[in-house]
Amino acid sequence: MSPPMRVKFVIFNREYHLKAKEGEEYLKIVASYVDGKIKKIASSTNEKGREQISILACLNIADELHKIKEKNRRAREKIQQLMERIEKETQ
């Protein structure tokens, strides 16, 4: 495995540099997603502070993540139920 690369990217008109284990392409995709969320919030609120806008973006992203995790959990439960049903019917 190659060592992490130092990657330059921009979020909310500010330049950042990070080492990326997953690679430059992945980090740029993630940074672009975060940048989009921040810009969407900045354009839809009267809030002007970078910190407040960033916190609102973090909350939105955390909400998305939580909903996806919950959906995944329910899907796993459904799969487990179906597997048990198949096993029961094939005995």
Q: Give the model confidence (pLDDT) of 54-85 as tens digits.
A: 999 999 999 999 999 999 999 999 999 999 99
Q: Structural domain tally of the chain?
A: 1
**CA–CA gap between residue 75 and residue 30 (Å, rounded):** 25
Q: How confident is the model at residue 8 (pLDDT cuts 50, 70, 90)?
A: very high
pTM of the model: 0.81
Q: How confident is the model at residue 3 (pLDDT cuts 50, 70, 90)?
A: confident
Q: H-helix or E-strand containing 76?
A: helix 50-89
Q: Helix %, strand %, coil % for the chain, to 5?
A: 65, 15, 20
Note down the domain range covering 50.
5-89
Tell me the pLDDT of the chain averaged across its residues: 94
